[in-house]
Structure 1
Amino acid sequence: LLVLPTTEENKNMDMVLTIAEAIHDLGIDRRLDPVIAIGGGVCMDIVGFAASIYRRKTPYVRVPTTLMGYVDASIGAKTGVNFAGKKNKLGAYVPPALTLLDRSFLGTLDARQLSNGAAEIVKMALVKDAELFSLLEEHGPSLIEGKFQDLPGGVESNAVGAPSRVLTLAISTMLEELAPNLWEDSLTRLVDFGHIFSMELEMEALHSSKLFHGEAVAIDMALCACLATVRGHIDSSTRDRILAVMRGLRLPTYHELLDEKMALFAIEERIKFSQTIKMPLPVGVGTSRIYDDITSDEIVAALAMAKRLHAEP
């Protein structure tokens, strides 16, 4: 048993090698003895990468204990760590032998950790599933308060099964998007929504005003909702509904570090590593499209809108 501080600050090759050394010292059979990662999304990313490189491939099992791990990091084949001050720049596509989901783990989390994971659920609701958005709109605060366990309600109430339905839809929509493109041969991906500006923001704030991954994603999504409004893809009432859902889940929608300089640099990085912008934007509740024609002026206007909305009571 190896207990490690698998936090974003320690998501690096040093931690990977610590795990690899432990695997080596235990002398496990790389075909019969899986490494079991029990923890949050960072834990599963690091352990999965360590297992993928030890003797070229050692099986591993994911057991997520956080909401972020449950609906995001446990889905798909990606593993990885941060490198050169950038998020997840080293990694591999090696799926686990097994993923075990137990919702009761979520009952041990504090509100901030639950909100952190809820950001990835909002992401899938906005890009793909109107029913999921409606459930978050109706039950969001209760989901956080009830820690995604069954909610109180009568036999006829849909509140009782809301947490289970939300988790099921979050995972199934994610799988629908990831499965046809598991190795990311195509970089045109709806699941990149909320991950354009957030990568720079999260790493910039890591050692100062610490932001969890989902919090940075939420701020990115809020900015993108403003950008979609600036471009005319959604109206202001739809934008306000999106922001209200995020606030109901206790997610931040603005951060002063995400300014014009950072936003435009994030776009440069996106183009550098993905050839074009490929930015997913909502065009309605539960539907989205990917755009390559985003302009600097539109981003600046969206930043101003986000700042103004944040300042309003």
Structure 2
Amino acid sequence: MRVEPAAHEVHVDLGARSYPVVIGAGLLAEVGPRLAAAGYRGRCALVTSERVGALYREPVAASLGQAGFAPVAVEIPDGEEHKNLAWLAERRSPLIALGGGVVGDLAGFAASTLLRGLPLVQVPTTLLAQVDAAIGGKTGINHALGKNLIGAFHQPRLVVIDVATLRTLPRREFVAGLAEVIKYGVIRDAELFATLEARLEALLGLEEAVLVPVVAACCRHKAAVVAADEREEGGERAVLNFGHTVGHALEVLTEYRRLLHGEAVAIGMVAAARVSRTL
């Protein structure tokens, strides 16, 4: 299968660890060809969750098989409580993470540690993962003492974002993901913020002509921040934490059960904005 030009492509500039982020609709069929074009072949693990796997495992596995790979599917139960080492049972190369943030974090951590590092491909299927979690190399799993306490920086070799997968995302999760989209408008892009205000109904209606460029704009901002401060050592990456101080506190207080991450961040952004007005 020939790799078609993506509607949008963002380059994450990290020298030898640079990688492309391709954004469009109907891109799941390109996962295999793009991975093969990057020089990989042979066995690979397709890590996904039960819910996402039921929807998209077969088309992605077919794409990998047609490109000459021998994929092995590894499904984990849905939910943050399953983001732990008990599910790191398969050792294959490369690893393809198909799903939301939990799948991406778990597969990313597996890729960063197994055999001292395996190639990772992120195929995010939630809005929050598409505009944030899949880009930047942060991986982590939970510990009994807290969330994401065990982790590493491990950049993917490729990120494929198919916005068509958002059509099967529960509406509450999509709306929660919009909080991270709005965040980019507030911290870096007034034009994006204006677009969100003007085209909110189109976004909520998943109109691809609006959704694809909005997701691509968010990816460009995340890529720029990551390129400037990959490991959070220079301070530039801290801007991405807007809304997260209060948001994380709310998640802890509610034991990660009442609020989705985006919902907590949205409340945190409002709180931060109100505090800023008093300073």
TM-score between the two structures when normalised by the length of structure 1: 0.62
Contact 1:135-1:162 within 8 A present in 2 as well: no
Aligned to 1:7: 79
Shift of 1:201: 1.3
Separation (CA, whole Å) in 2 of partners of 1:119 and 1:86: 23
Aligned 8 A contact 1:44 1:64 in 2: yes
Instruction: Return the match for 1:143 from 178, 197, 203.
Output: 203
Answer yes or no: is 1:226 the counterpart of 2:271.
Answer: no
Q: Quick one: distance in 1 between partners of 2:168 and 2:151? A: 29
- Which residue among 66, 79, 90 is the counterpart of 1:22? 90
1:100 aligns with 2:160: yes
What residue number does 1:113 align with? Answer: 173
Structure 1 unaligned segments of length 5 or more: list them: 151-160, 232-313
Letter in 2 for 1:35: L
Say if 1:213 and 1:207 are closer, same or farther in 2 by CA, change over 3 A. Answer: closer
TM-score (normalised: structure 2): 0.69
SS in 2 for 1:48: helix
Distance verdict in 2 for CA 1:207–1:181, change over 3 Å: closer
2: CA distance, partners of 1:193 / 1:87 = 19
Identify which of 247, 254, 273 aligns with 1:205.
254
* 1:36/1:61 contact within 8 Å kept: yes
Aligned partners of 2:140, 2:126: CA distance in 1, in Å?
18
* Amino acid paired to 2:245: I
Q: What number of residue pairs does the alignment pair up?
A: 206
Counterparts of 2:201 and 2:252 in 1: how far apart (Å)? 28
Q: Aligned to 2:244, what secondary structure does the other structure show?
A: coil
Question: Which whole-Å deviations, capped at 9, do the CAs of 1:84-137 have from their partners, x for residues lacking one?
Answer: 443322110011121111111111112111112111111111000001100111
* Alignment partners' CA distance in 1, 2:118 and 2:213: 34
Larger Rg: 1
Aligned with 2:182 (options 122, 130, 142)? 122
In 2, are the aligned partners of 1:85 and 1:203 still within 8 Å (CA)?
no
Letter in 2 for 1:222: V
- 8 Å CA contact retained: 1:67, 1:114: yes
Paired residue secondary structure (2:161): coil
| Structure 2 gap segments, 5+ residues each | 1-72
Q: Is the 8 A contact 1:87 1:199 kept in 2?
A: no
Q: Shift in Å at residue 44 of structure 1?
A: 0.3
Identity %: 38
Q: CA RMSD in A?
A: 1.6
Q: Which has the higher strand share?
A: 2
Work out whether residues 70 and 101 of structure 1, in 8 Å CA contact, stay in contact via their aligned partners in 2.
Answer: yes
Instruction: Report the 3-state secondary structure (helix = DSSP H, G, I; strand = E; otherwise coil) of the residue aligned with 1:36.
Output: strand
